[in-house]
Chains A and B, each alone.
Chain A
Amino acid sequence: MKVRILVRLKPGVLDPQGRAVHHALDGLGFAGVEDVRVGRMIELEVAEGTTDETLAKMSEQLLANMVIEDYAIERVEEQG
């Protein structure tokens, strides 16, 4: 079973990386970009039946730093 953990900086935490990317997009001439936040996507292949609770523990103990980041768990539908 494939699971994606999306790790993002919490709202209000300044994102210097996002700001630099935003600046670069402006420099390339893309108009209308109002904000950029850079996060991280972690794909896990886990055993069937792995619970949300276990995935939450993985996220909180290692994959995200809860001082500065939030996470979201996304179960990926297998393509038939």
Chain B
Amino acid sequence: MGFRAGVVTFPGSNCDRDMAVALEKVSGEPAIRIWHGDASLPDRLDLIALPGGFSYGDYLRSGAMAAKSPILRAVVEAAGRGVPVLGVCNGFQVLTEAGLLPGALMRNANQTFICRTVPLTVANTDSIFTHGFETDETIRIPVAHHDGNYFADEATLDQLEAEGRIAFRYGETCNGSRRDIAGVLSANGRVLGMMPHPERAIEPASHPSLGGADGRRVFENLIGALASA
């Protein structure tokens, strides 16, 4: 049976369509669109994707309101059953606010919105999202955020490192994140939150400074892992 991905849209999401298009291009299957006010998820999802944007206008804190929306209760419950969840940018902020991932994403250290393609170092190659990468491989994926400065206390950071739960690190100075963390995995490795946008790097573009296909590999890894499971 085909890959069934669901993409959640919150009021203020703006990368939900990009996420759906990326999933459709890589998997060849239509992505199911899910509204934040829904109380339940479609059956048998292979992936729940929380997209980038400014859910609820970033009121209170980025991701805070979305984390309390009806659909998130269903997402937390599904994650507890082992359904893979990918949160990108605002989706990562939602996952930390919902308690599915540790830490918090604070205002960028230099106070500016950062929008550019950055090098990332792959730190974990064991998860369903990252198994096709080489350890310490450098990939290039765009970031576009104001609140991407990852914070967790030292004990939590040590634990994440010891358990191999840091998926990606920035390969250059970016937003002030503790230990250059760009992406974090849950304890079971099936929830990934990352600030860079893999859905914006699924095919080469005509100009060399744009596009790139490194993001595509995140989706290919996942689809491959589920197909062989």
List residues 23-80 of chain A with CB under 8 A from any CB of chain B. 61-63, 65, 67-68
Q: How many B residues face the partner with a CB closer than 8 A?
A: 20
Main secondary structure of the interface of B (DSSP, over half): loop
State the CA gap A68–B97 with chains docked (Å).
11
* B151→A16 contact, CB < 8 A: no
Main secondary structure of the interface of A (DSSP, over half): helix
Q: How many A residues face the partner with a CB closer than 8 A?
A: 11
The listed residue (B60, B68, B107, B176) touching A17 by CB distance below 8 A is B107
A-B contact count (CB 8 A): 35
What chain B residues lie within 8 Å of A1 (beta carbons)?
none
Of B47-55, B72-80, B108-116, B184-192, the one contacting chain A is: B108-116
25 contacts between A and B (CB under 8 A): A13-B151, A16-B106, A16-B107, A16-B108, A16-B109, A16-B110, A16-B111, A17-B107, A17-B111, A20-B111, A61-B68, A62-B60, A62-B64, A62-B68, A63-B60, A65-B64, A65-B104, A67-B96, A67-B103, A67-B104, A67-B152, A67-B153, A68-B104, A68-B106, A68-B151
